[in-house]
Amino acid sequence: MEHEALTLRDPAPLLERTLHEWGGGEALWIFGYGSLLWRREFETDAEVPAQVHGWHRAFRMRSRVNRGTPAQPGLVFALMAGGSCHGAVFRVPAERAEAELRQLWLREMPTGVYDPRWLACRTPHGTVHALAFTLHRSSPGHTGRLGDSQMQQILAHARGRYGTTLEYLRETALELRRRGIRDREVERLMRLAGD
């Protein structure tokens, strides 16, 4: 575990790179697929349903801060290569974008584990390029495939600064349902948790 902590990246240079890639001057789009759908915490002036191709929602990222601890890691969703994912894109006004992104970074990138990248998101109004938080399979935060009994243990016990892994899963499942988004794996995990 100590080795894993050492291989995580400093989130500050990743933020500066992301700000440079955005360039300023126009609105910033952010793709939400997990907790950003139900607990956004940044100012937007538009929200549009969106789909990304080549990436899927996966409950395979360790959380040692937000939904778990180093001693009892929890799980959160990440975008991983392959498949497709339905969610939403949020437009942050240009004049607020840098400040909002810096705040979002404190929440989403405390350990630098995500790979922030710009993805083409299809919306009913055309394609927008939005910032998304992805995870590479080689990341120290990637759990690989977990057995059902291990998943049940995590759902029963993992808790971090924002609450439990189970609460996170439940809120995401409820929000996907509210938006009419069908995700079979999320539904399976809810059944596994007894919800």
Concatenated DSSP letters of 25-60: SS-EEEEESSGGGT---S--SEEEEEEEEEEEEEEE
Task: Yes or no: say if 148 and 186 are a contact pair by the CB < 8 Å rule.
Answer: no
Rounded Cα–Cα distance for residues 133 and 114 (Å): 6
Rounded Cα–Cα distance for residues 141 and 112 (Å): 10
Q: Which of the following is catalytic: 95, 100, 108, 185?
A: 108
CA distances from 31 to 8, 134, 135, 138 (A): 23, 10, 14, 22
Two tokens, residue 123: 């919306």
* E strand or H helix that includes residue 155: helix 148-157
Query: Is-catalytic flag, 171?
Result: no
Two tokens, residue 47: 């929200």
Q: Which residues carry out catalysis?
A: 108
